[in-house]
Amino acid sequence: MNYDVNLIFQIAGVGIVVAMIHTVLKQMGKEEIAHWVTLLAFVIVLYMVVNVVDDLFQTIRSVFLFQN
């Protein structure tokens, strides 16, 4: 159950940078690109946490469905 704390910092960094990119693009009047960037970053972050989420689901299954 000891996860890498680095992952959290990494996600936080991505969040901060993407928020800044969003602000810059929005100021220049390219809002649709800004939204696409945010969505893309969300997908990338989702890929980064997919292992952890998988682990979470396995744990839930093993608790409530009495498997393994």
For residue 56, the 8-state DSSP code is H
What are 9's two structure tokens? 């910092």
CA distances from 57 to 7, 50, 53, 61 (A): 19, 11, 6, 6
> Closer to another protein at the Cβ: 46 or 60?
46
Shortest CA distance to 20 belongs to which of 33, 36, 38, 32?
38
Q: How many CB atoms lie within 10 A of CB 14?
A: 15
Contact region with another protein (CB under 8 A), list: 26-34, 50-58, 59-67: 26-34
Binding to another protein, residues 39-68 (CB under 8 A) = 41, 44, 48
Considering only residues 8, 13, 60, 62, which one is a binding residue for another protein as defined by CB under 8 A? Answer: 13
> Closer to another protein at the Cβ: 44 or 56?
44
Residues that bind another protein (CB under 8 A): 10, 13-14, 17-18, 20-21, 24-25, 27-30, 41, 44, 48
